[in-house]
Amino acid sequence: MLSAKNIAKTGLVALFLVATNVAEAQISEFQVSDQNENQGYNDYEYSAADLPDYIQPVSLEVKDTVFRRSLRRNQEKERWFTPSGWADLGYTWNTTQPASGKNGPIGFNDQHNQYQLNQLYLVLEASQGKDDNESWSWDARIDLMFGTDHDYTVASGLEIRQDGSQRWNATPDPVNDDFRGTPANPRPYYGLSLPQIYADLHTPLLFGMDLRLGHFYSQVGYESVMPLENFFYTHTMSRVHGQPFTHTGALASTTLFENVDLSFGITRGWDNWEDDDQGDLSITGGLGWQLNDSAFSINFHSGDDFIGVDNGGNTLVGNVTIVTLNYTRNMSDKLTYALSADLGHGDAMAGNTNTGGLSGARWYGITNYWTYNVGEKLSTGVRVEWFRDQNNSRIMPGAFSNSVDGGNYVNVTLGLNYRHNDRWTFRPEARWDWSDTTSSDLSVPGAFGDFQENDAFTLSFDAIFSF
């Protein structure tokens, strides 16, 4: 007999396919055309190779407005902290109906049956406007974020202290307030963060080298914190649990040949504003190239890093290394395929409750994306991820338990992108998650539904308004 959950899954897949077929018959092929845009950008058709690195696509159309605005701003001779941004509001319903109201380990949409103001995001940009690879010039940018997503972008020494306590935002009362984390160290759902504040120096050196100085998003990984750079509302397990979000330091990048980009830099580690107590620094870098309709990139971050604080209040420091591989290919004018794979290792991240000792931990995964551009306003997408938390150090609260078994996480996501106009984008999706992770000594039969279920089915929806 079919359960209610299975009926819901089957019905939603059927609805997804019907909506795709109907829309494809009604909506014309995509082409950027806007008579209100500046001369030279009307009827501009583009491919993945035309897009700047920072908006390398999962789906091209979802970023058409962002791309045109970027082109116009780059033509301006000078600007002084020009404002722009967006608001992202979302909702998620979870079949496990967790009593806590928390969808974990799924994130950023980690609240069940509640509307979330994920991001109210402000960008301030300044530029000298002479990035021609033949002269010196500069750009600067400041990002401010308020919303439930802020907690994923906080940095030690900036918004929070090294022990995880709050510096910028009020500490919630675990008895009366909604919170993330544990009652001993609660974190607020809503708060303010500063995910980026940096300056870019453009030089004529080394084929037109750019030097970024400050606090900025990590180049490691595929999915972005900024919603218009992603096809799906929800994020992969590898993005949420296995990769850094921000770095503080210096990053140099240049184009060696026509289609080969190289970057290298020094940072203060994963999500750190300040050095750890040992003053350790990390290195990061990447190599990217394009070949016909395909694009490849390999990025890494490695170094001795702040891991946490032990029961005695002592700082734990160890090497943490992450390597990611991204591949995208335009299969046709409408169909795009992308693959992202990552491998991470950290010293002293896995604990043994019997011996009290710490050992190294590994995590790795592969994610596949298929997006199909139905027409000017509608795209469909499928994402399939396998994430392996080999030593159960990244996701389960029992990471310091030697009796946590499993560590495999699989999810399949079906989604739509509807671009109503230049300002509004809507992203409904359906997602199924499964894991074999259990813990007998913690009485945890699964990783979902308040750690009582081994799978979860979620329906999510968000709306993005850009300005």
pLDDT in tens, 47-59: 333 333 333 444 4
CA distance 249 to 137: 20
**Mean pLDDT along residues 125-145:** 84
Strands 378-389 and 335-351 turn out to be: unpaired
The pLDDT value recorded for residue 314 is 64
**Mean pLDDT along residues 376-380:** 95
Six token digits for residue 95: 């079949």
Say whether pLDDT at 291 is over 80: yes
Say whether pLDDT at 271 is over 90: yes
- 16 phi-psi bin (left φ>0, alpha ψ -120 to 50, beta other): alpha
CB atoms within 10 A of CB 110: 22
Share of the chain above pLDDT 70, in %: 76
pLDDT tens-digit readout, 215-231: 999 999 999 999 999 99
pLDDT tens-digit readout, 434-464: 999 998 777 788 999 999 999 999 999 999 9
Domains and CATH numbers, the chain: 4-466 (2.40.160.10)
**Mean pLDDT along residues 330-336:** 95
**Mean pLDDT along residues 262-290:** 88
pLDDT tens-digit readout, 2-42: 344 443 444 444 434 434 443 444 333 333 333 333 333 23
pTM for the model: 0.82
